[in-house]
Amino acid sequence: MPSEIGSQSVREAARRIVDLVLTEDDVYLDSLPDDVEASIAVPLIEVARMLGEPTGDKEFRGSVRLLLEVGAVVAPRMPTELRDLFEELRFAMRGVAVR
C-alpha cells in the first residue's frame, strides 16, 4: 500500500505537469506536436480534475497510470522539459524521490 508521503510526491509531480501544460490560455498545450497534444490532453485534464477534488488515492493513481501510458508512446516527441516531468512522475509512482 502506498505511503501517504509517496502519494503526496505523486500528487506534486502530477501538479507540475498540470501547471506546465494546462495554462489558462492553452499556449503550451497548443504548442505541443499534434500527436502529443492528442494523446495526453484528456488524461491530463482528468488528473487535473482529480487534483482539484478530494478523490481516493487508488482512483487518482489509476488516472496517473493512464497518463503515463499514453505519454510513454509520444515521449520522444515531447519537449525536454515535459518529458523530464513525465519521468519524475513515473519515478514518484514507483516511490523513488527525484527532487
Has residue 99 been placed in a domain?
A: no
Q: Show the cell assigned to 87.
A: 519521468
Distance of CA 11 to the CA centre of its chain: 9
Look over the chain and give the mean of its residue pLDDT values, rounded to a whole number.
90
Q: Does 44 map to a domain?
A: yes
Cβ contacts of 22 within 8 Å, gap of 6 or more: 29, 44, 45, 48
Domain tally for the chain?
Answer: 1
Q: Give the domain range for residue 70.
A: 4-91
Is 51 inside a domain boundary?
A: yes
- What's the average model confidence in pLDDT over 20-26? 90
What pLDDT shows up at residue 2?
Answer: 46
CB-based contacts of 53, cutoff 8 Å, min separation 6: none
What is the model's pTM? 0.88
- Taking 90 as the threshold, does the pLDDT of residue 91 lie above it? yes
Domain for residue 97, yes or no? no
Cβ atoms 13, 88 nearer than 8 A: yes
**What grid cell was written down for 53?**
477534488
